[in-house]
Each structure stands twice: as C-alpha cells, then as structure tokens.
C-alpha cells in the first residue's frame, strides 16, 4: 500500500465526498514509527493523520471540556473536506435519569464546537453498556438535543450498548427525532441499523492484531460494498466509518485500506 503523503492526498481527493473514513483520535504511542513517520513531532500528528484519512472521531471531548480556540486550531490544521465526529461529554449520558441532562447537553454544544465550521461531523452520544432502553426517559433525552448551534445544523448519532435497544421501537423513536443509531461491529454490543436513517455511522471494533489491516482485505471489501450502497440509489446518504478499539494499532491501516478500495478505478 502506497502511504506517501502525495499519493494518499490524491487518492482521498478522488473519493466520494459523502464518505468519511477514519480512526479514533490521533495520539497513540504504537502509531509512532508505524502509522506516523519516525521522528514526526507530536504536534504534527493531526496534520499528518488528516491527510491520510478523511475523518477522526474525537474521544477527548467525552472526558474533558475543550475551549473554542482548540476547535478552531483543529479546523485550521486539517485539509478542506476533512471532518471530525465528536463524542459528547459523558456527563450528559452517564446518568440514571436522562431527562435531567439538559444543562450538560447545552454546556457541551455551546463549548465552541461550531469553531470546526464545515468540518463538524456528527455528535456521538455514547451510553453505558448497563443503560437499558426506557422509552419515556430516552425520548425526553432526545427532545433535549438541539438541531443547530450558531446557525450550523447538528447531526446526532446514538451509541447505545444494551441489548434492550435492539427493538423497532427504539429505531422509530430515534428516527422521529432525526437521530441515527450507531452500527457497531463488536462481539459485546448490539449491531443496530436503520435503513431509513439520514446518514450511517459505523464503528468497526473487531480488528485483529495479527492482520496487518486489522480486518482482512476481504472483510473490508464487504464493508466497502455496504458503504457504496448507502451512497447510491435514489436517496444517497453520508456514511462515517471508524476503525476503532480492537487492535487499535492496526486501525489506520484498516481505514486506509477501506479508502483504497473505495477509490474510483481508473
């Protein structure tokens, strides 16, 4: 696989603008000298990663509160067309009564995320694996999610992890509020999908350390086929795909292989 900056950028530029493929974060020690060139300054890692991939899911926003200048810096360090998905702060989702999350939701949304401008992708609301589906409380939470911030439309992805969410009632509720269930490829969490959703959000978590690309090229080809289906037909939609968690050291190679397979053939 040719991973030089020029060839990668050319390949990415030719890809479908509806498709974003990436990894979780950009700071990970095993990527240094592996994904990142040896000796690359840590301060240049986002700049480098954003030219090999087309998106990054930010995990830091799940644990900490960032200020507007940080989001503006991320925007300025990345190329045109790149996108960030942001995991919402856990204070909004890690609570017994979700209907009480209003202040936490507002604090996150108004923390400066609009400084990402056109590079702001979906917001991911991740719930604890022990959080079961309680329709009335969950609907109260969804009703709190804003549709825009500073005039910029927001897209919401729901990363639910309890098997009780694997029901048509949940999918219908999410659709009613314009939210999309995260489709997780994992042994631990349910794999939910809504064929009528406005966009698709995939988190691929079955990477294997003994496979150079985490997922085999054959498995990645199957995901590529599914991605193309979402972005074609009478109702083409955006797709966000992240290689994340399992065998994290292989995630960049998996994401780049998917981008390679999705690139138009000459």
Tell me the CA distances in angstroms from 69 to 96, 210, 255, one per residue in order.
Answer: 33, 40, 28
pLDDT band at 10 (very low <50, low <70, confident <90, very high): very low
Tell me the CA distances in angstroms from 213 to 129, 218, 220, 254, one per residue in order.
Answer: 28, 11, 9, 4
Between strands 148-149 and 152-153, the pairing is: antiparallel
pLDDT in tens, 127-178: 999 999 999 999 999 999 999 999 999 999 999 999 999 999 999 999 999 9
Q: Which domains does the chain have, with CATH numbers?
A: 5-262 (3.20.20.410)
Locus of tokens 């509806």: 18
Distance CA 72, CA 240 (A): 22
pLDDT band at 16 (very low <50, low <70, confident <90, very high): confident
Give me the DSSP letters along 81-95: T-EEEEEPPGGGTSS
Tokens of 220: 């990645």
pLDDT in tens, 170-212: 999 999 999 999 999 999 999 999 988 999 999 999 999 999 9
The reported pTM is 0.93
């Amino acid at each position: 696989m040719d991973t030089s900056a020029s060839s990668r950028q050319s390949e990415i530029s030719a890809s479908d603008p509806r498709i974003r493929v990436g990894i979780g974060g950009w700071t990970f020690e095993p990527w240094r000298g592996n994904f990142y060139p040896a000796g690359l300054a840590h301060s240049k890692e986002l700049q480098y990663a954003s030219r090999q991939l087309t998106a990054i899911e930010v995990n830091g926003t799940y644990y900490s509160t960032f200020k507007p200048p940080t989001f503006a810096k991320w925007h300025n360090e990345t190329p045109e067309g790149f996108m960030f998905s942001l995991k919402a702060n856990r204070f909004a989702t890690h609570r017994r009564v979700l209907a009480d999350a209003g202040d936490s939701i507002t604090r996150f949304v108004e923390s400066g995320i609009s400084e990402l401008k056109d590079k702001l992708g979906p917001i991911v609301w991740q719930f604890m694996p022990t959080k079961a589906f309680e329709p009335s409380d969950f609907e109260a939470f969804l009703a709190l999610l804003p549709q825009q911030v500073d005039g910029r439309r927001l897209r919401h992805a729901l990363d639910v992890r309890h098997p009780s969410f694997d029901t048509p009632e949940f999918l219908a509720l999410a659709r009613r509020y314009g939210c999309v269930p995260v489709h997780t490829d994992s042994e631990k969490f349910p794999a939910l999908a809504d064929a009528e959703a406005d966009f698709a959000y995939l988190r691929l978590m079955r990477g294997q350390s003994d496979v150079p690309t985490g997922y085999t090229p054959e498995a990645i080809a199957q995901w590529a086929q599914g991605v193309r289906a979402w972005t074609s037909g009478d109702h083409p939609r955006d797709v966000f795909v992240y290689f994340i968690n399992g065998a994290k050291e292989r995630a960049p190679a998996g994401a780049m292989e998917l981008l390679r397979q999705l690139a138009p053939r000459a």
